[in-house]
Structure 1
C-alpha cells in the first residue's frame, strides 16, 4: 500500500522541540500549505473557503524513523508512566501518520505556486508532508465534554511567559504571540524540572533560549542562526 504526499507545510518551527504538542493550542502559529505539482489544481479546492477549520492527515517521517512499540512513555506525563501506544498520540506507531485540526485563515487558489492555504494552530514541523486535507464538521467532529484521561484540561498547567523587550523586538507581533503560546504550554518533557537548566529551540531564524523557574518560562536570549 502506497500513499502519495499532496503538499508540504511551512512555518517557523524546523524542529519538534518547542512545537505545540497538540493542534489548536497556538492559533497564532501561522503555517502555509504548498501543494505538490500534480495537485496544483484550483478546482480541487472549490468551496473550501466555506469552512473555518480543516483536518490535515500527515506523515511523522521528518521527526525521525522510529520502531513502533506497544507501550510508550509520554514525556508530558513525566516519562515514567507506560501507556499503550493506541492510548496516546506518540509518533512510535505502526504507521507514521498524524491527524491535526487547523484554522483556515486564507485560501489563495491561483498563486505562482498553485493553491496555497494559510492556516493557524498546526502542531507540525516545517517541511512535514501532508497526505490529505478534509473539512472539519463541528456537528460530527466535536465532543466538548468527552473524557480525555490525563490529557484533559484539568492537567494542563500553563506557564507565565516573560520575554525581554530586546528579544520581543526581533519578531513580528504574530510570531511573538505564537512564541508566547508555545512556551506557555511548557515544551520540556515532564521529567525535567531543573530551574537552572537553559533550554533552546529553533524558531524562525533564531535559537530561542529559556529556563523555567516557579511556573514561569523566562526567555534569556534569541541567538541569530548562521546562514
Structure 2
C-alpha cells in the first residue's frame, strides 16, 4: 500500500548542506529558521491559535538523501561510527520512507504578507519540504521515566576558538549579527564524521552564504577563515 503527500511548506535555514547540521534539534539555539507555508496551505486560518504553543513538531522529508536508498543496519555517530543498530533504532536519514520529525521552539507566527513560522533550534536543511505541523503538548509528550538508549544524555562538546584573521572577518558586510554565536554552537557539536580525527585537516561548514573553515585538535575547534560561498 502506498500514499502520496503534498508539501505544505518549505524551510529557509542557515544550513546549506548536510555537513554541520546538528544531529538533533535544540542543540544549536542560535540557528533561526523560518517555515513558509505554500499555497493552498498558506491561509492565516491554517495557523490560527498556534501561537499559544511554545513548541511544535515538524514532519519533513530528507529530500537530499531520499534517492540513496536504505539499509537495515546503520552506524550511529553517537556510537563512534563502528557499532551497528537497526535503522528503526536510529534517527538515520537513510530510511525506508525518508521522513524526519523535529521538535522546535516556535518564536513567532506571521500571517502577512505570507504565512511564516519563525523557529529556534531546528536541525533542518535549507529547502527542506515540510509535510505537517503539530503543536507539542507537554503533559502527554514529556515523559520523565523515558529511556534514551544509546543516546541517553547530551553529547560532549568541543571548545571553540578563533584565529585573529577569522574574527576580523566577522565585520564583513552581509554577515548576520549573531553569526559568531551560530558558528560556535555548530562547531561545539563536532560536525566531523566519527571516524575522522586528523588535526591537520581543514574542514568547511556552509552557514548562510558563508563557508566557515576550521580544524579540530583533541577537544578544541579553531576557526581559521570565513569565505563567501561560491555560487553553484
What TM-score does the superposition give when structure 2 sets the normalisation length? 0.91
Cα RMSD for the two superposed structures: 1.5
CA distance in 2, matches of 1:217, 1:180: 9
Residue 163 of structure 1, CA deviation: 2.5
Residue 145 of structure 1, CA deviation: 5.0
Q: 1:96 to 1:64 in 2, by over 3 A?
A: closer
CA distance in 1, matches of 2:218, 2:151: 22
The 5 A counterparts of 1:87-106 are 87-106=89-108
CA distance in 2, matches of 1:181, 1:146: 27
Residue 173 of structure 1, CA deviation: 3.5
Contact 1:102–1:120 (Cα < 8 Å) also in 2: yes
What TM-score does the superposition give when structure 1 sets the normalisation length? 0.93
Aligned length: 224
Q: 1:129 to 1:11 in 2, by over 3 A?
A: same
Residue 226 of structure 1, CA deviation: 2.9
CA distance in 1, matches of 2:102, 2:179: 20
Partner of 1:24: 26
Is the deviation greater in 63-72 or in 117-126? 63-72
CA distance in 1, matches of 2:209, 2:162: 17
Q: 1:23 to 1:5 in 2, by over 3 A?
A: same
In structure 2, which of residues 167, 170, 186 is the aligned counterpart of residue 182 of structure 1?
A: 186
The 5 A counterparts of 1:1-227 are 1-111=3-113, 114-153=114-153, 156-164=155-163, 165-170=167-172, 171-227=175-231
Q: 1:63 to 1:177 in 2, by over 3 A?
A: farther
- Mark the runs of 5 or more structure 1 residues left unpaired by the alignment: none
